[in-house]
Amino acid sequence: MPRLFVVLQYLLPQRLLTRIAGALARNETLAGLLIRLFIRRYRVDMSEARNPDPASYRSFNEFFTRPLKAGARPLEQQESTVLCPADGALSQSGTIGETLVQAKGIEFATASLLGGDESLARELVGGSFMTIYLSPRDYHRVHLPLAGKLLRSRYIPGKLFSVNDASTALIPGLFCRNERLVSVFDGDCGRFVLIMVGAMIVAGIRTAWDEGGSPGKPEQSLADRDLTFAAGEEVGRFQLGSTVILLFPPGAVEFEAGLAPGDSLRMGRGIGRLSQ
């Protein structure tokens, strides 16, 4: 079945399906039905939401990107803590080389993930990376793991393969193929990167600095804008599930010992410490 699912992704019209899903997610008439079905199917815990009443959401998108109530995701307060940027499951983590691990037996080029930015890729070699998969039931707002100033953001168009376990295990270079947003920040550890990867049925990636819609633009230099974020502050959101990848420079971060692929993660918990 996993192989059949992957084969179907090559054959199906990914963008057409995503546009249809996006239209349904924005539709106010169908919102109540879609939300009730989704909550039942994925056992969504609405008690964590700032607004726990499913019937009050005007569209599925509004429901899906719902904020959480105060205190639902407390931030670990130690000054040197690297915070988890999103709810999800740890997919992979390790040392950045010329390639990164996608899944057992599959690697992809770091520079390719960054849209061909060889200079930034070389700068990150020897550093640390972590990939977090957001399932449909997860909280889908993305937060910054460390305080930092946004230097630039680059939208990279691409495919819209699913990013679930079957796809990551069977589609080579998956994250380099898919649409993604690569954002470079400057923090206490130096320059670090947060990548939001799109996927099939993801109707949009939103950011705190481009609220007008999906950031479907080429490289934006943002160093001249005051876009400084505190650790744990929201920087973006997905409209349906996907993946977040963190890249830290050499000697900057030590991830928490014992973390392994498949481990459940929550936004705001410590996933590591600054080394410096």
Tell me which residues are annotated as active site: 87, 143, 242
Beta bridge partners of 96: none
Cα distances from 198 to residues 1, 131, 141, 164, in angstroms, run 23, 13, 14, 12
CA angle 247, 248, 250 (to 5 degrees): 130
| Distance in angstroms (rounded) separating the CA atoms of residues 40 and 139 | 16
Per the CB < 8 A criterion, the answer to whether 56 and 88 are in contact is no
- Rg (the chain; Cα; Å): 18
Per the CB < 8 A criterion, the answer to whether 242 and 141 are in contact is no
Cα distances from 163 to residues 56, 160, 169, 188, in angstroms, run 30, 9, 9, 31
Strands of the chain, DSSP E = 81-83, 88-95, 99-103, 106-109, 128-133, 141-143, 148-156, 180-187, 190-197, 205-207, 220-221, 228-229, 234-238, 243-248, 253-255, 264-265, 270-274
Cα distances from 43 to residues 11, 39, 89, 94, in angstroms, run 30, 5, 17, 32
Per the CB < 8 A criterion, the answer to whether 125 and 195 are in contact is no
Q: Residue 72 has what DSSP assignment?
A: S
